[in-house]
């Protein structure tokens, strides 16, 4: 029987954790949005070479599997000037306490070739929400020392940002993962 869990990506300013390769890490996967009064950062750079990795810091179960269809979306926007986004990739993986990270499932590079406009009069950049699905039909095991991560990579110019606001209205980074317990 499958169990579906939805996670949201946020960046907490006041809370971090360390696990494996992630030392003082602020990019978190959370199940519910936290109070809007908490200090968080709304966006991170998403230009060529930037990798934003959100990690779920807790155990899910001693032993479980990911299997089924993973789906979600990420939000990219122009910041300070018009931006061009050529492609993006979303990867789900597992991090282990010994510092090994294993990419399990990926969208592969998705070509979009979008121009995100920026209005300098109002200091507002247009944004685009990119929906994705990943077939995860080869069952992957996760153990008690593994943590789930979601990695977002983009091929974009330096004016592009990845939104990850702590705001349930927008759900900037959202992913639903199917588990078999």
Residue 94 has a pLDDT of 96
Given a cut of 90, whether residue 49 has pLDDT beyond it is no
67-107 pLDDT, tens digit per residue, is 999 999 999 999 999 999 999 999 999 999 899 999 999 99
Residue 59 has a pLDDT of 83
Full set of structural domains in the chain with CATH: 2-180 (2.60.120.260)
Residue 32 has a pLDDT of 96
Residue 46 has a pLDDT of 96
Given a cut of 90, whether residue 60 has pLDDT beyond it is no
Listed in sequence order, the residues at least 6 apart from 11 whose beta carbon sits closer than 8 Å to its beta carbon are 26, 27, 28, 40, 41, 42, 44, 164
9-42 pLDDT, tens digit per residue, is 999 999 999 999 999 999 999 999 999 999 999 9
């Amino acid at each position: 029987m499958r169990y579906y869990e939805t996670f949201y990506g946020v960046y907490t300013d006041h809370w971090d954790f360390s696990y494996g390769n992630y030392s003082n890490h602020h990019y978190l996967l959370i199940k519910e949005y936290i109070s809007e009064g908490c200090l968080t950062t709304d966006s991170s750079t998403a230009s060529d070479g930037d990798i934003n990795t959100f990690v779920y810091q807790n155990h899910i179960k001693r032993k479980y599997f990911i299997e089924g269809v993973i789906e979600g979306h990420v939000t990219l926007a122009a910041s300070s000037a018009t931006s061009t986004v050529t492609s993006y990739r979303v990867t789900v993986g597992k991090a282990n306490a010994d510092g090994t990270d294993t990419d399990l499932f990926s969208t592969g590079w998705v070509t979009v070739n979008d121009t995100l406009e920026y209005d300098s009069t109002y200091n507002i950049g247009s944004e685009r929400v990119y929906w994705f699905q990943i077939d995860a039909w080869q069952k992957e095991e996760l153990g008690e020392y593994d943590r789930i991560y979601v990695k977002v990579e983009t091929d974009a110019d330096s004016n592009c940002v990845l939104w990850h606001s702590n705001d349930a209205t927008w759900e900037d980074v959202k992913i639903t993962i199917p588990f078999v317990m």
